[in-house]
Every structure is written in structure tokens, then in C-alpha cells.
Structure 1
Amino acid sequence: MTARDIYLPVAAQPSVSTLVGLSQLADVEGYERVWLPETWGRDAVTTLTSIAHGTDDVGIGTSLLNVYSRSPALIGQTAATLQEASDGRLRVGLGPSGPRVIEGWHGESFERPLRRTRETIDIVKQVLSGEAVEYDGDIFELSGLRLRSDPPDPVPPIDAGGLGPKAVELAGRFADGWHALLLTVEGMADRLDDFDRGAELGDRDRASQRVTFSVPCCALADRERARAMTRQHVAFYVGGMGTYYRDALARQGYEDTATTVFEQWNDGDREAAKAAIDDELLDALAVAGTPEECRDHIERFERIDGVDAINVSFPRAAERADIEATMAALAP
């Protein structure tokens, strides 16, 4: 059975306590896990520590920590500590993010993202094993130290994010799972082929790996408001977050639309960018409308063979009441 998770809002929230409150609601409503992104707002680690202390059963996870702003060893230390703080409820999501965040916010050069992700996963797993870390990679060389505290038990799984074929294959080959987003049902099937190929190359037990698919959702009595917010959300990602999401949409057969959204958004015509996402494409990428419509529509994504969890995410402009209404409508 496909699990339902919550992708906590990426847009700034009024307080840490707001995010804790949403996580408590997810706990009560039976969602399996809450995932927290980290961009240029609150850091994920401090916030997830508060969430761990404020909830009882719901799992916690990072989706995603980037592999540039912290060293691999520090990510390993952090994962061990969060696993302890949450009494074993952690799952770690890692990924390269993109140039806008890495160069524009952290001031680091966005070089060799796939290799850096692979080496980071390798090192984090060594750190979490409790054994001495010995690593001779293309980017990182480490030797002589081991985690000073007891290693976590159980060891938290390490997932990887990725949009393109090579990134998804890497996740299948080296990680314990993959985080997907901005994909149609057909596009997801193509990337699952990449993930499966990676698992085979890495001689991984595919049945033990977990695929988490984030889907923008907004279930409101005001149908048009729900769809308008979700359309704006999709347009922002395709047009305003560099070329990754534009290229991902183009690979799925929507090259003309992806180009139009990207160009209009970057020319400052946000209304034209949003208008370029027609109803058919919006429904192919997201779940937006009345609660009844959304409960039916989300099942299309849950029926994808190979997807283990649907991550209910929310439009950037959604207010807390919108988020809570959507969580209630789509609760497991």
C-alpha cells in the first residue's frame, strides 16, 4: 500500500512552532512522515529537532539537505544526532540542489553535482556505521577518525534527490531511496526505469529501496483558488528556479510549454507564465480542486507501480488554513 507523507511548506512560515504544529497534525491524522526542505529560510536540522521533540510517532526527514553547504562528515554527525533526538524516526534525503542556492546563497561553486552527491552518500554511510572513516575519492579524502558518539541504531536510510536520468540512476545505485517531483505519471514511469537500472548496477535489493514522489496538492472548497495557487506554484518552479525543472518538464514531452513558461517568467510576465500551464498539464503534475476531486485524483499517482509514498506538498502561496484543509482532505 502506498504511504502518504507530508512535505512541509517550502515557503517561509510564521514560526518554528507553526511547522511543529503542522507536524503534530500530520501525526494525529496518520501521515507516515513529515519532510522538511532547506533552501534559504530556516535550517532543516534545528527545525526537525523541534519537530522530533514535539511529536510522538510520525517519521521525520530532510528533503533535501544539499551536499555543498555541509561537509559529508558533518552531515553524518547531524544524521546520527537527529536519529537519537527522534528516537529512531529519521530518514535522510540528500541532493545537490541547484546553482541558484549553492552559488547565489552559499557562495560555493556548483561543480560536479553527481559525483559530489555520490561521494557524500558513501561518506555519510561510513560515518553512521561507527567504523573509522577511510575514503579516497575524486573530491573528498578522509582518514583516521570515527564518530565519537555511539553510532545510531537503527542506522537511518539515506535517500537521494534527482530529476534527470543520470541523477536518478545514481540514486538507485548508491542510495536507499529516491525523491521525485514535478513529474507526470508517464514521466515518473520513465525515471523509475532509470532508478531500477541503477539498483541493478549497484546490486541493490530494489525491494528495500523507497521511492517518494512529491505532488503539489491543494484541496479547498474554493476550487478556483486552489487551482490558481497550484498553477502559480508550478510556474514558479519551471520559470524561476533555474533550468532544472524546465528541462525536466521538457523531457516529458512539454518542451514548448516549458520554454514559454521559463521565458515569460524571466521576462517578468508572471501572468503569461501561469497562463501557459493549461488545465491538462496542471492535472498531469498536481492535485488541485475540491476535496472530492483531489481524493480521487491523488489515486492516479498512488497507482504508479514502484512508488512507495506520495508526499503531499503545498503551493508556495498557501496559507495555514489552506494547508490544514488539504491535509484533512487527503489524510490516509
Structure 2
Amino acid sequence: MTERDVFLPVGAQPTLDALVDQAITAEALGYDRAWFPESWGRDAVTAIATTAERTDEIGLGTSIVNVYSRSPALLGQTAATLQEATDGRFRLGVGPSGPIVIENWHGQEFGNPLRRTRETIDIVKQVLTGEPVQYDGEYFDLNGFRLRCDAPDPAPPIDAAALGPKAVELVGRFADGWHAVNYTRGGVEERLEDLERGAELGDRDPEDIRVTLSVGCCALEDPERANELVSQHIAFYIGGMGTFYRDNLVRQGYEDLAHEIHDAWQEDERDHAVDLVQSELREQMGAAGTPADARDQLERFESIDGVDAVYVSFPRGATTDEIHETMTALAP
């Protein structure tokens, strides 16, 4: 059975307590896991540690922390500590982010993100064994680092976010799970083939790799408002978040539409960009409308063969009340 997770709206919460309250609500509503993003503002580690103290059963994880702003050894320590703090409920989600964030915000050279992600996963896995880490890579050379505390048992799984074919193949070879973000229903099915190929190259069983699909959701008694919010959110990512999400949509067979949405957004014709999404993409990339309609649409994503979990993600323009209404309407 496909699990139903929730992606917590960090930016929409006025305080850390309000954010943790969202996770408590998600647990009470029966969601399987709460994912914490990390971009700017509150860090994911503090938020998860605080949430762990105030919840009992819901799984907790990062989606995602980037592989540049913390060293692999520190990410290993962090994963071990959060696995202890959550009593074994933690999953570490990592990814490369993009050059705008990494170079402009963190002052690091973006370089080869696939290689850096692979090396980070390799090293974190070594750290979590509790044995001395010996690693000779392109980006990292480690000799003798070892956890001073007991290694977590079991070790937390390590997931990775990926968009392109080679990145998804890498996840299949080295990670425990894949986070698929900003995909159409047809597009994620195609990338699942890359995940399976990666698993075969790594001599692994694809069934052992957890696939978590992000779905932008809004379930309101006002269906026009719900559709507008999800469409605006999709348009923002395609038009305003660099080239990665636009290029990913091109790979999914929407080349002309992807460029038209991007150009409209960049030229400040944002209503037009939203209209394009609403007419051609919204039902392929999100679930919105009345509570009944949104639930039906979300179930179409859950029925995709190979998807193990979907997480309910909220549009950036939604109010706190609209987030709560959606979370309640779409509870498992």
C-alpha cells in the first residue's frame, strides 16, 4: 500500500512552535512521515530534533539538505544523532540543490553535482557503520574519522533527490530512496526505468529503493482558489527557480510549454504563466479542487506502479488555514 506523507510548509509558519504543531497535527491525522525542507530560514535539523521530542510515531526526514553546506562527515554525525533523537524514525534526504543556491548563498563551487552526491552518500554510509572512515574520492579524502558515540542500529536510510536520467540512475545504484519532485504522472514513470537500471548496475533489488513522489495539493471548499494556488506554485518553479525544473519538464515531453511558461514568468506576465499551467499541466502535476476532487486526483499519483509514497506538498501562496484545511482533507 502506498504511504501518504506530508511536506511541512516551513516558510508559512511564523514560529518554530507553529511548525512543530503542524507535524503533531500530521501525526494525529495519520500521515506516515513528515518531511522537512531546508532552503533559507529555519534549518531542518533543529526542527526535526524539536519535533522528535513532541511526537511518538510519525516518521521524520529531510527533504532535502544539500550536499555542499555540510561536510559528509557532519551529515553522517547529524543522521546518527537524529536517528537517536527520533528513536529510529529518521530518513536522511540529500541532494545537490542548484548553482544559484550553492554558489550565491553558500559560496561553494557547484562543480559536478552527481559525483559530489555519490561521494557524500558513500561517506555517510561509512560513518553510520561506526567504523573508521577511509575514503579517496574526487572531492573528499578522509582518513580515520570515526563516530565517538555508538553507531545507530538500525542505520537511518539515505534518500536522494534527482531530476535527470543519470541522476536518477545514480540514486538507484547508491541510495536507499528517490525523491521525485516536479514530475508529471507520465514523467515519473519514465524516470522509474532509470532508477531500475541504476539498481541493476549496483547489483541491487529495485524493490528495496523507496520512491517518494511530491504532489502539490490544495483541497478547499473553494475549488477555483485551490486550482489557482497549485497552478501558481507550479508556474513559479518552472519559471522562477532557475533552469533545472524547466529542463526537467522539457524531458517529460513539454518542451514548447516549458519555455512558454518560463518566458511568461520572466517577462512578468505571471497570470499568463499560471493560465498555461492550469490549462495543460495542473492535473498532471498536482491535486486540487474540492476535498473530494483533490483526494481522487491524489489517488491517481498513488496508483503509479513503483511509487511507494506520495507526500502532500502545499502551494507557496496558501495561508496557514488553507494548509490546515488541505492537510485535514487529504489525511490517510
Tell which deviates more after alignment, 6-15 or 250-259. 6-15
Q: CA deviation at 1:293?
A: 0.2
Tell which deviates more after alignment, 102-111 or 264-273. 264-273
Q: Give the 3-state SS of the residue equivalent to 1:178 in structure 2.
A: strand
Conservation of the 8 A alpha-carbon contact between 2:37 and 2:44:
yes
AA aligned to 1:119 is: E
Q: Deviations over 1:191-213 (max 9, x none)?
A: 00000100110011222210000
Q: Deviations over 1:244-278 (max 9, x none)?
A: 10011111111111101111212222222212213
Conservation of the 8 A alpha-carbon contact between 1:30 and 1:331:
yes
Structure 2's unaligned 5+ residue stretches are none
AA aligned to 1:245 is: Y
User: What residue in structure 1 maps to residue 331 of structure 2?
Assistant: 331
Q: Give the 3-state SS of the residue equivalent to 1:84 in structure 2.
A: helix
**Distance in structure 1 (CA, Å) of the matches to 2:49 and 2:71:** 20
Q: Deviations over 1:191-246 (max 9, x none)?
A: 00000100110011222210000100000001111111111100110011110100
1:1-332 matches, cutoff 5 A: 1-332=1-332
AA aligned to 1:152 is: P
Conservation of the 8 A alpha-carbon contact between 2:10 and 2:42:
no
**Distance in structure 1 (CA, Å) of the matches to 2:269 and 2:168:** 33
Structure 1's unaligned 5+ residue stretches are none
AA aligned to 2:238 is: V
**Distance in structure 2 (CA, Å) of the matches to 1:51 and 1:243:** 34
AA aligned to 2:193 is: D
**Distance in structure 2 (CA, Å) of the matches to 1:94 and 1:126:** 16
Conservation of the 8 A alpha-carbon contact between 2:80 and 2:151:
yes
AA aligned to 2:305 is: D
Change (3 A) 1:293 1:181: same
The percentage of aligned residue pairs carrying the same residue is: 62
**Distance in structure 2 (CA, Å) of the matches to 1:57 and 1:64:** 21
Displacement over 6 Å in runs of 4+: none
Conservation of the 8 A alpha-carbon contact between 1:5 and 1:311:
yes
Q: How much is the aligned-residue C-alpha RMSD, in angstroms?
A: 1.0
Q: CA deviation at 1:10?
A: 4.8
AA aligned to 2:202 is: G
Q: Give the 3-state SS of the residue equivalent to 1:250 in structure 2.
A: helix
AA aligned to 2:123 is: I
Normalising by structure 2, we get a TM-score of: 0.98
Q: CA deviation at 1:144?
A: 1.2
Q: Give the 3-state SS of the residue equivalent to 2:281 in structure 1.
A: helix
Q: Deviations over 1:285-307 (max 9, x none)?
A: 00010001011111110110000
AA aligned to 2:52 is: A
